[in-house]
């Protein structure tokens, strides 16, 4: 049995989150319809927010029984972030991301209601050289662990973290927090792009992820639905191979 494998009662089919990073809401709807029941959970971020129709898209997804991850990385003075979370919490979204210091995270957690707040640790597009440029002298693992521990203490529900740092999070913080791992690159799809700290599907869950976020390997596939189904099959294989059962 893998001690880091998530034991949270999450339906296996919902552990895949598809990043809807497309130009317009209409493009997003077409992709969702093409994917059908192969994906149940969608992340919508800044590109769609700036395209218009963002909240209508949330309503459209929710009306079709889909779960929604609002990835806007709220970062502003605490009062403004708290107000934004308060406005969002009744829209039916499951997750929202917040970036910033303790006061910002605390303000978001205070207003979250049933919305789960995820703290951003270190973006998967950053590597050691980038952190040096930003003035962080500590290593990536230490920075991620520090931010995750603070987020949990402040009332956040989880973190967005590379699969490379997930093992330390699980080893030090156990099952107390949600770990959402972006930048997933299936082994046969390690394309060259802006993601630097990536892992594969099985590796991410073995390292302790509760959910994975996949974007381009599915969106850009010749057959997106077949690509999503292949990822789902790999996820089901990970959890069915373990002696704990997830439904």
Q: List the alpha helices (DSSP H) in the chain.
A: 25-35, 46-51, 54-63, 78-88, 102-110, 128-134, 140-153, 166-173, 201-206, 216-219, 224-241
Please give the average per-residue pLDDT across 84-111, as a whole number: 95
Strand 211-214, strand 41-44: pairing: unpaired
Q: At the topology level of CATH, where does 12-241 sit?
A: TIM Barrel (3.20.20)
Q: With 70 as the cut, is the pLDDT of residue 176 above it? A: yes
26-59 per-position pLDDT tens digit:
999 999 999 999 999 999 999 999 999 999 999 9
pLDDT for the residue numbered 59: 97
Please give the average per-residue pLDDT across 171-175, as a whole number: 89
Least confident segment among 14-28, 35-49, 157-171, 231-245: 231-245
Radius of gyration of the chain (CA): 17
Higher pLDDT residue, 168 or 20? 20
Determine whether 196 is an active site residue.
no
Among 8, 67, 73, 116, which one carries the catalytic annotation?
A: 73
pLDDT band at 15 (very low <50, low <70, confident <90, very high): very high
Averaged confidence pLDDT in the chain: 87
Percent of the chain with pLDDT over 90: 69
Q: Does pTM surpass 0.85?
A: yes
């Amino acid at each position: 049995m893998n001690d880091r494998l998530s034991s949270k009662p999450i339906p296996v089919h919902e552990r895949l989150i598809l990043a809807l990073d497309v130009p317009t809401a209409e493009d997003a709807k077409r992709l969702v319809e093409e994917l059908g029941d192969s994906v149940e959970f969608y992340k919508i971020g800044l590109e769609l927010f700036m395209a218009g129709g963002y909240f209508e898209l949330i309503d459209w997804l929710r009306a079709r029984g889909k779960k929604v991850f609002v990835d806007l990385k709220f970062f502003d003075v605490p009062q403004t972030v708290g107000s934004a979370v308060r406005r969002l919490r009744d829209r039916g979204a499951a997750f929202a991301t917040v970036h910033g210091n303790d006061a910002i995270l605390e303000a978001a957690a205070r207003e979250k209601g049933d919305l789960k707040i995820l703290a951003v640790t270190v973006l998967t597009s950053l590597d050691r050289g980038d952190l040096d440029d930003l003035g962080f002298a500590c290593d990536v693992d230490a920075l991620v662990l520090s931010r995750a521990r603070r987020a949990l203490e402040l009332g956040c529900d989880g973190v967005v973290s590379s699969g490379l740092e997930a093992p330390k999070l699980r080893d030090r913080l156990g099952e107390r927090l949600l770990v959402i791992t972006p930048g997933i690159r299936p082994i046969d799809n390690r394309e060259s792009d802006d993601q630097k700290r990536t892992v594969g599907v099985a590796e991410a869950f073995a390292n302790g992820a509760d959910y994975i976020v996949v974007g381009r390997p599915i969106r850009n596939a010749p057959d997106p639905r077949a690509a999503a189904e292949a990822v789902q099959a790999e996820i089901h294989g990970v959890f069915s191979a373990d002696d704990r059962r997830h439904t």
